[in-house]
Amino acid sequence: MKKVRMLLDFISRFHAADTVLDTDLVVKKENRFFLINTELRLHIQKDFFYAGAYLGKAKGNVFFPSFILLAMMAEKKTNRVAVDDKGAWLFICGRDIFKRGILNVVGSVRKGDYTLVVNRRMECLGFGRITRNIDDERDVKRVVVKNISDVGDFLRREKSKA
């Protein structure tokens, strides 16, 4: 339960609705968390490698979310910044978000908070930490969201294997 708490704490940092996860259906394998459904629960065996929707992994006291979890959160009311096409492309290349790339903000604009980063279609590209109060920042060339994780990671994983 302590470890599931870590997962819930992560979600709460986005001020997300509590309904993102049914914790009764969260299963853990070593340091990785998965969300299964009632059908999978009937068949899953303890030596599984991967099951259902991968939610992320814990390393020490830090939780690293999966992109499935972030996409699930994006379907709910949660902190998010929507960015333009150029900002979206730069973000999935690992870059931070400049004030000028932001189309709109939902939820927190406060420095230090976590926020999802979505494109103009509201598809979740990853998440970051707000580095300056977004509403207050007047300089459009300033970074306002620092990239923590983005979907370009799938490519980086492939390259690191190669």
Partner 1 sequence: MSGKEFFIRRYEELGWTYSDVELKPSIRINATNAKKAEVLERLESQGIRLEKVPFLDSGYWILESEFSVGAMAEYLLGLYSIQEAAAQIPATLFSELKQKIVLDACAAPGGKTVQLADLMENTGVIVALDVKRLRLFALSNQLERCRVRNAIVYQLDAREATRLNMRFDCVLLDVPCSGNFVTDKEWFKRRTLKDVERNAELQRQILTEAVRVVKAEGEIIYSTCTLEPEENELNIDWAIKALDLEVEKIDCPGQNGLTNVFGTELDASLADCRRTWPRETQGFFVCKLRKRA
Q: How far apart are CA 57 and CA 150, in angstroms?
A: 16
Based on the shown chain and the rule CB under 8 A, indicate whether residue 89 belongs to the binding site for partner 1. yes
Residue 53 binding partner 1, by CB under 8 A: yes
Strand partners, 28: 33
Euclidean distance between CA atoms 77 and 19, whole angstroms: 10
Q: Which of 7, 16, 21, 35 binds partner 1 (CB under 8 A)?
A: 35
Q: Compute, in degrees rounded to 10, the torsion defined by CA atoms 75, 76, 79, 85.
A: 20
Secondary structure class of 32 (helix, strand, coil): strand
Show contacts with partner 1 in window 97-136 (CB under 8 A).
119, 123, 125
**Do residues 85 and 112 lie in contact, with contact meaning Cβ atoms separated by under 8 Å?**
no
Nearest to partner 1 of 54, 100 (CB atom): 54
Give the pairing of strands 114-118 and 102-106: unpaired
Q: How far is the CB of 141 from partner 1 (least distance, A)?
A: 24
Nearer to partner 1, 108 or 119 (CB): 119
Q: Smaller CB distance to partner 1: residue 11 or 72?
A: 72
Binding region for partner 1 (CB under 8 A): 35, 37, 39-40, 43-45, 47-54, 66-68, 71, 88-89, 92, 119, 123, 125, 151-152, 154-155, 157-158, 161
